[in-house]
Amino acid sequence: MKISFDHLVDEVKTLNVTNASLIDASVIKYSKEFRQLCAQNKCGHYDKNWMCPPAVGAFEDLKEKASRYKWGLVFQTVYKLSKRFDFEGMKDAAGIHEKVARSVQHHMIDRTGIKEVLPLGVGPCKVCKKCTYVDGKECLFPDKAMASVESYGIDVGNLLKGCGIPYHNGKNTVSYVGCILFNK
């Protein structure tokens, strides 16, 4: 299949993506300090998921893995909340973002025929209702498991700035960011 990235950004915007941009992956900044924030376990998923630290791998190894990809599709979804600290709304929105991320990934692969991709999402891998990590068992779907941009220590604010995508999108909204790294 002929690989063409023409119109890809416009196309993914029809998949409930608010903003998207194709980038040269060498502009991505990785920060060990950001990665270390995971250990504070504010999200409650630290050491509870194969795709979260520490199980996902050491910062240096993940940075090296991600650096093998030359291109990236950065995309953002934005959701309305009922109030500023609508935590249920944020959780629901993260679940919807995950589905959007999968649609974007599949569309991108179908559209371009590329095979080398590393999709990065938001928070823990959500493929299984309960990650087998907590029971000390192997990952059930290693081909589907998705780590987060945060677990790789990616500076999301810097990434969005470079793409001209806003970090915040207005009062009572939550915005999530995904990045699909790929080689043409």
Strands 71-80 and 19-24: antiparallel
Distance CA 112, CA 106 (A): 10
Asked if 154 interacts with ligand SF4 (CB under 6 A), we say no
CA dihedral sign, ordered 97, 102, 105, 106 = negative
Size of the site for ligand SF4 (CB under 6 A): 14
Closest separation between CB of residue 58 and ligand SF4, Å?
17
Nearer to ligand SF4, 52 or 179 (CB): 52
- At residue 161, the 3 state secondary structure works out as helix
Distance CA 71, CA 27 (A): 10
Distance CA 15, CA 30 (A): 28
- Tell me which DSSP letter residue 21 carries: E
Other CB atoms within 10 A of residue 49 CB:
25
Closest separation between CB of residue 49 and ligand SF4, Å?
6
CB 51 within 8 A of CB 146: yes
Closest separation between CB of residue 33 and ligand SF4, Å?
25
Asked if 122 interacts with ligand SF4 (CB under 6 A), we say no
Closest separation between CB of residue 129 and ligand SF4, Å?
8
Q: Which of 125, 160, 174, 181 binds ligand SF4 (CB under 6 A)?
A: 125
Of 33-62, which residues contact ligand SF4 (CB under 6 A)? 49-51
In degrees and rounded to multiples of 5, residue 109 shows phi and psi of -65, -45
Asked if 139 interacts with ligand SF4 (CB under 6 A), we say yes
Nearer to ligand SF4, 33 or 143 (CB): 143
- Tell me which DSSP letter residue 30 carries: B
Asked if 118 interacts with ligand SF4 (CB under 6 A), we say no
Asked if 94 interacts with ligand SF4 (CB under 6 A), we say no
Nearer to ligand SF4, 112 or 126 (CB): 126
Residues that bind ligand SF4 in the complex, under the rule CB under 6 A: 49-51, 125, 127-128, 131-133, 139-141, 144-145
